[in-house]
Amino acid sequence: MSESTRVTEKGQATIPKVLREKYDLQPGDEVIWMDTDDGIVVKKRTHTGGRGMLVPDDTSTEKRKEIAEELSQRVRERRDRNYEEV
């Protein structure tokens, strides 16, 4: 099944009613926009109790740890640069 809608000047797009109903999308629900080799994929965000990690739900534990370490390293580097400037 495919449906099309237009993007507004504000960058907004309406999710077709048939898909909102099929995937039980309600006002206030979040969706994740993922850039893939095949184009844009939109998924309903499901909260799994994580502490705000914005990675797809099907991301492996190993990959999540890798992402967390990379983000931690970036924070450390930014903090160190800020200390050097003082």
pLDDT per residue over 1-59, tens digit each? 788 899 999 999 999 999 999 989 999 899 999 999 989 988 888 765 555 556 777 78
Q: Which domain holds residue 57?
A: 52-86
3 belongs to a structural domain = no
Tens digits of residue pLDDT in 63-73: 888 888 888 89
pLDDT at residue 11, rounded to an integer? 95
Which residue has tokens 């109903």?
Answer: 21
What pLDDT does residue 6 have? 94
Query: Comparing C-alpha atoms, which of 50, 41, 45 is closest to residue 28?
Result: 45
Tell me, yes or no, whether 27 lies in a domain.
Answer: yes
Is the domain of 59 the same as that of 83?
Answer: yes
Same domain for 62 and 34, yes or no, is no
| Distance of alpha carbon 12 from alpha carbon 86, whole angstroms | 42
Backbone angles phi, psi at 13, to 5 degrees: -135, 140
Q: Please, are residues 68 and 62 in contact by the beta-carbon 8 Å criterion?
A: no
Nearest to 15 by CA among 7, 56, 47: 7
Q: What is the pTM of this model?
A: 0.49
Domain count, the chain: 2
Q: What pLDDT was estimated at residue 52?
A: 54
Q: Same domain for 58 and 39?
A: no
Look up the CATH number of the domain holding residue 40: 2.10.260
Asked if 24 and 40 sit in the same domain, the reply is yes
Helix (H, G, I), strand (E, B), or coil: what is residue 32?
strand
